[in-house]
Amino acid sequence: MAFASPYPDIEIPDVSLTEYVLGGAAARGDAPALIDGGSGAVTTFAELAARVGAVASGLAAEGIRPGDKVGILAPNGPEWPVAFHAVVSLGAIVTPINPLLTPDDVAKQLQAAGARAAIVAPPLRDAVAQAGLEQVYALGDLPTRDEAAPTAQVDPAGDLAVLPYSSGTTGVSKCVMLTHRNLVANMEQIRAIHRIGEDDVLVGALPFFHIYGQTVVVNLGIAHGATTVIMARFDMGQFLDILEQHAVTRAHIAPPVVLGLAKAPGVEEREFGALQVVISGAAPLDAELATRAGERIGAPVRQGYGMTEASPVTHFAADEELADQDPGVVGRLVPNTEGRLVDPETGEDSDSEGEVWIRGPQVMRGYLEDDEASAATLTDDGWLKTGDIARIEEGEVWRIVDRVKELIKYKGYQVPPAELEALLIGHPAVADAAVIPIPDEEGGEAPKACVVADGELDPDELMAWVGERVAPYKRIRAIELVDEIPRSASGKILRRMLRD
């Protein structure tokens, strides 16, 4: 059976992503749109709109055309949304890239997306060198022109806007195809119940390359007149300073930051009187931890749910419901969204507990040039299989209780076990390997390798060897030497046996 959202359906504007986000910016004039959390420099809405237009015109003169793919590799900063919307406004497509990735991973993402060009923070320029792109531009020194950029004829429902990377419900990274309509729809769905407006101050602590920070914070904030205070990199002291000094009203974070709020010294001595709510996402949140953090900051800490393949939000709670919501649940289905609970073994619907399937206008078109993965994740009638197990409780609230998929979430980042296993098996002293999650106080969970040795093997040396070859969040935090890796008859690793 399908469950409908308890919230009324909304009308979704038939506009491009940049029209939705920046359509009212010029009229807001000198109101602050973005504040650099480090320097305090302010970008007004009028300046933001003018800057996007000038860069779009400059990129068009450089030959960027509708349908071209452009990577953005940079930490958070006021120029990030400028570059993003300059590209998208031309009908081109952004593939946002995690600055922590290795040059090999950066090249793979750019090549998988079919990127023609990249916009890169100057210190990261070498990271795109091996991708062999036609054009590479330095963020902060982008081409500009005074002439108006050509008007792109965008079909919101049909044209892609963003190609974020996700490991989906498997361990292999893929480009997610999100249309203009997917993203506009999701922002309207969120704002119908999470009513960000001109009186709000947000903190841009989540990375903008990640769909959570991109949709829920920077784009939704700009679209509805909020001020966003941007953090280039996360630092708990600076985060607390921003909450206090800028009178932040809504803070969107990941679970490791909730841990910091619960444990960092001096939090109770701060003045967070403007703070209405803290929303955690990107990974499961422990309810007791959320309660403890909320008591220290004097504002409720709650969670929502979603995934990159859903632009990302599928579950949230309305503003007036947040104070009373159990911090362990993820809220209700957002407007215009249907959900199912499906037994992953039988494929039959359940009315109590099962894999979460989602259908709505925010659901991706599929994975770029990967029909097999798309068919495994999307049904013919539009249901997205999330890989997470949930149950529905009284009041139509959903609680995530487990997951079918094997991804490990470290500080909200996705760590595919298959990628680490392939790397481990390439080590001359490793005969076989499996990677499983272990509890991690700082990251929520972390990767642990169960390894069958081929001769003498030093676990510390092996961890260092892996660490030299992967992004920091993918590093293995523990190694256990085992006699064999348990597998099913089909060869699938039986990870549950390793966790028991």
Same domain, yes or no: 293 and 362 = no
pLDDT of 372 higher than 80: yes
Q: Count CB atoms within 10 A of the CB of residue 490.
A: 5
Asked if residue 51 lies in contact with residue 82, where contact means CB atoms within 8 angstroms, the answer is: yes
Q: Each residue of 321-330: pLDDT tens digit?
A: 999 999 999 9
pLDDT of 284 higher than 60: yes
Tokens coding 151:
């008007």
User: What's the rounded Cα separation, in Å, for the pair 457 and 454?
Assistant: 8
Same domain, yes or no: 68 and 87 = yes
Q: What is the mean pLDDT of the chain?
A: 93
CA distances from 78 to 37, 59, 140, 141, 222 (A): 10, 18, 9, 13, 12
The pLDDT-based confidence of 488 (bands split at 50, 70, 90) is low
pLDDT at 170: 55
Question: How many Cα atoms are found within 13 Å in the side-chain-facing hemisphere of 259?
Answer: 15
Residue 353 maps to a domain: yes
Residue 6 maps to a domain: no
Same domain, yes or no: 211 and 341 = no
Residue 198 maps to a domain: yes
CATH number for the domain that contains residue 286: 3.40.50.12780
Asked if residue 61 lies in contact with residue 143, where contact means CB atoms within 8 angstroms, the answer is: yes
Same domain, yes or no: 356 and 448 = no
Asked if residue 450 lies in contact with residue 434, where contact means CB atoms within 8 angstroms, the answer is: yes
Residues 6+ apart with CB under 8 A from 120: 71, 72, 73, 74, 127, 128, 136, 137, 138, 139
Asked if residue 118 lies in contact with residue 71, where contact means CB atoms within 8 angstroms, the answer is: yes
Last residue of a domain, one of 403, 419, 438: 403
Asked if residue 204 lies in contact with residue 212, where contact means CB atoms within 8 angstroms, the answer is: no
Same domain, yes or no: 352 and 308 = no
Residue 313, amino acid: V
Asked if residue 367 lies in contact with residue 374, where contact means CB atoms within 8 angstroms, the answer is: yes
Q: Each residue of 34-61: pLDDT tens digit?
A: 999 999 999 999 999 999 999 999 999 9
The pLDDT-based confidence of 491 (bands split at 50, 70, 90) is low
Same domain, yes or no: 456 and 346 = no
The H helix count followed by the E strand count for the chain is: 16, 29
Q: What percentage of the chain has pLDDT greater than the value 70?
A: 98
Residues 6+ apart with CB under 8 A from 489: none
pLDDT at 172: 60
Same domain, yes or no: 297 and 263 = yes
> Would you tell me the crossing angle of helices 459-467 and 417-425 to the nearest 10 degrees?
120
Residue 377 maps to a domain: yes
Q: How far is CA 99 from the centre of its chain?
A: 14
- Domain interval for residue 138: 15-322
Q: Each residue of 85-103: pLDDT tens digit?
A: 999 999 999 999 999 999 9
Q: What 8-state DSSP symbol labels residue 487?
A: B
Question: Would you call 370 helix, strand, or coil by DSSP?
Answer: coil
Burial 426-442 (b: 16+ CB within 10 A, else e): ebeebebbbbbbeebee
Same domain, yes or no: 318 and 358 = no
pLDDT at 356: 97
pLDDT of 178 higher than 90: yes
Q: Each residue of 210-245: pLDDT tens digit?
A: 999 999 999 999 999 999 999 999 999 999 999 999
The pLDDT-based confidence of 171 (bands split at 50, 70, 90) is low
Last residue of a domain, one of 403, 424, 441: 403
Asked if residue 90 lies in contact with residue 159, where contact means CB atoms within 8 angstroms, the answer is: no
Owner of token pair 């803070």:
251
User: What's the rounded Cα separation, in Å, for the pair 264 and 351?
Assistant: 41
Asked if residue 180 lies in contact with residue 159, where contact means CB atoms within 8 angstroms, the answer is: yes
User: In total, how many domains does the chain have?
Assistant: 3
Same domain, yes or no: 88 and 154 = yes
Q: What 8-state DSSP symbol labels residue 95?
A: E
CATH number for the domain that contains residue 420: 3.30.300.30
Q: Each residue of 386-431: pLDDT tens digit?
A: 999 899 999 999 999 877 777 788 988 878 888 898 899 889 999 8
Q: What percentage of the chain has pLDDT greater than the value 90?
A: 79
Residue 9 maps to a domain: no
Residue 8 maps to a domain: no
Q: Count CB atoms within 10 A of the CB of residue 20.
A: 24
User: What's the rounded Cα separation, in Å, for the pair 165 and 214?
Assistant: 13
Burial 323-339 (b: 16+ CB within 10 A, else e): eebbbbbbbbbbbbbbb
pLDDT at 167: 62
pLDDT of 4 higher than 80: yes
Residue 268, amino acid: E
Residue 137 maps to a domain: yes
Residue 418 maps to a domain: yes
Last residue of a domain, one of 403, 420, 447: 403
CA distances from 64 to 4, 143, 293, 317, 473 (A): 42, 11, 46, 40, 33
pLDDT at 392: 95
Same domain, yes or no: 315 and 295 = yes
pLDDT of 168 higher than 70: no
pLDDT at 283: 78
pLDDT at 489: 56
- 57 phi and psi, to 5 degrees? -65, -40
> Would you tell me the crossing angle of helices 79-89 and 45-61 to the nearest 10 degrees?
50
Question: Would you call 399 helix, strand, or coil by DSSP?
Answer: strand
pLDDT of 303 higher than 70: yes
Asked if residue 466 lies in contact with residue 476, where contact means CB atoms within 8 angstroms, the answer is: yes
Same domain, yes or no: 75 and 124 = yes
Q: Count CB atoms within 10 A of the CB of residue 472.
A: 12
CATH number for the domain that contains residue 349: 2.30.38.10
User: What's the rounded Cα separation, in Å, for the pair 266 and 261?
Assistant: 10
Same domain, yes or no: 435 and 456 = yes
